[in-house]
Amino acid sequence: MSQAIEGLLNLEKSSRLAEDVTATKACCSAILDVCYAARDWRALEENVLLLTKRRSQLKQAIQATVRQAMSYIDSVEDKDTRVSLIKTLQAVTEGKIFVEIERARLTKRLATIKEAEGNVDEAADILQEVPVETFGAMAKTEKIAFILEQVRLCLDKKDFVRAQILSRKVSPRAFVERKGEGQGEIGIEGTAIEEADKGTPPLADLKLRYYELLIRYYGHLNNYLEVTRCYRAIYEVHVASEDADKWKPVLQHVCWYLVLSPAYSTPQGSSSDRTTLLTATQQDKKLGELPEYKALLATFTNTEIIRWTAFEAQYGAEVAAFGSVFADPKRVEDLKLRVIEHNVLVAAKYYSRMRTSRLATILSLTPEQMEKHVSELVVAKAIRAKIDRPAGVISLAQPQSPEEQLNSWAGNIARLLELVDKSCQLIEKEAMVHKVALSSSA
């Protein structure tokens, strides 16, 4: 074997010096084939290092050598030998732009091996070092799949800050097919876009994976409004495919997370966004196939008091069945909180002043609990209220803004002038009927 390799190396040298790309690539390929046939992995690594670091080595020959060596990785049975070969190829491709895609794929394989060993933290650290968003020749699907894998490992590692940063590298607009993004087309850097790696999911599957990862992230933060947006995007994908077994559970999740979202503006989202999502969901004809959930949304949009005991009796089974939503006891507590907040907002709409004991009875709470929830809504600027503890009275009147007050005054003056003008006309009419002369006093 050594004699054959030595002869091929001499032939490779003459071809390289003559800048014969085809002959040089053929010589490099033959040397690797000899090592692979003998299953001498150490010799394979040594020759890969030798061929790629020879003086004035052609870029095409280096790329062909790396790709051929990568095709042998799956044939290596020993895990340590496989890792050694991957690290050797990583060292060869480091700092070379024309093999950056191959280096990214090698890094992903190494991270997969580390994750299989249970070293999730190490796998995440290895993978997140590769900035694939700057690779102009990498196919869009492979690029998105790589970034989503980085996000997944960060979520598994519980590094939610880095997961958010990485997820922002993918825009929802990236899941729209555009001309010039396929294999063989020219990218923005002027290089040909290569074919995606084997096993890369299509764009539609990547879109679902993207929103599933965002659901994990926003679910950790209990940001129910953003989780609703994500489920709404997944729902639109499944509705387009007309698969009822897929879109029905997703629409149910949309309804529950809409109910869990606060009805007032918070740092996590505005009330107008929630209203838009709620209106779009209620107007969806597909919701008619889920009457219980249509009634659920109607319960929180009607200006009527919700009795928790009756609500629990009606939807308790559904809440217990949705472990994916209410597995965390905090979600159940938040559901109770949304019911209380709805009742307070309804009371504030119908009453401007009432006794605290009466409001506590309406909310089915103790006076202390009622005061706590009302205070929280006042701090969140959902309502305006003043509590007179000695008198046991709560004022829920909404003060008018200066613009509203001026408009009210202008309207009152206009009505007053209309009454004065009408009165003058009636007086003149009576004077004419009775022929009475109206004299103005000096």
**d(C-alpha 399, C-alpha 307), whole Å:** 29
Q: Per-residue pLDDT for 290 more than 60?
A: yes
Decide: helix, strand or coil at residue 387: strand
Mean pLDDT score, 363-386 = 91
Q: Which residues contact 285 (CB under 8 A, 6 or more apart)?
A: none
Could you tell me the maximum CA-CA distance found in the chain, to the nearest angstrom? 139
Domains of the chain: 1-94 (no CATH), 249-350 (no CATH), 352-414 (1.10.10.10)
CA separation (Å) from 257 to 82, 151, 185, 232, 235?
46, 23, 42, 10, 13
Instruction: Specify the pLDDT at position 418.
Output: 92
Beta bridge partners of 354: 394
Band (432; pLDDT cuts 50, 70, 90): confident
For residue 229, which of 261, 202, 205, 201 has the smallest C-alpha distance? 261
Enclosing H/E stretch for 367: helix 367-379
Beta bridge partners of 353: 395
Instruction: Specify the pLDDT at position 262.
Output: 92
Q: What is the mean pLDDT of the chain?
A: 88
Band (441; pLDDT cuts 50, 70, 90): low
Q: Per-residue pLDDT for 328 more than 60?
A: yes
Q: Which of 57-61, 146-150, 237-241 has the lowest mean pLDDT?
A: 237-241
For residue 106, which of 156, 134, 72 has the smallest C-alpha distance? 72
Q: Residue type for 177, please?
A: E
Instruction: Specify the pLDDT at position 191.
Output: 61
Mean pLDDT score, 388-414 = 85
Instruction: Specify the pLDDT at position 185.
Output: 57
Band (2; pLDDT cuts 50, 70, 90): confident
Band (442; pLDDT cuts 50, 70, 90): very low
**d(C-alpha 181, C-alpha 18), whole Å:** 36
* Packing angle, helices 21-37 and 2-17, rounded to 10: 170
Beta carbons of 154 and 216 less than 8 angstroms apart: no
Instruction: Specify the pLDDT at position 269.
Output: 86
Beta carbons of 58 and 28 less than 8 angstroms apart: no
Tens digits of per-residue pLDDT, 247-266? 999 999 999 999 999 998 88
Q: Which of 42-51, 129-138, 174-183, 359-368 has the lowest mean pLDDT?
A: 174-183
Q: Per-residue pLDDT for 23 more than 50?
A: yes
Instruction: Specify the pLDDT at position 407.
Output: 86
Mean pLDDT score, 220-235 = 93
Mean pLDDT score, 411-435 = 89
Q: How far is CA 43 from the centre of its chain?
A: 47
**d(C-alpha 201, C-alpha 189), whole Å:** 24
Tens digits of per-residue pLDDT, 190-219? 566 788 888 888 888 999 999 999 999 999
Instruction: Specify the pLDDT at position 9.
Output: 85
Instruction: Specify the pLDDT at position 298.
Output: 93
Mean pLDDT score, 156-163 = 92
Q: Per-residue pLDDT for 188 more than 80?
A: no
Give the CA dihedral 319, 320, 326, 331, nearest 10 degrees.
60
Instruction: Specify the pLDDT at position 193.
Output: 77
Band (180; pLDDT cuts 50, 70, 90): low
Band (110; pLDDT cuts 50, 70, 90): very high
Instruction: Specify the pLDDT at position 38.
Output: 86
DSSP for residue 186: B
For residue 383, which of 415, 359, 407 has the smallest C-alpha distance? 359
Give me the helices (H) in 393-435, please.
402-433
**d(C-alpha 384, C-alpha 399), whole Å:** 8
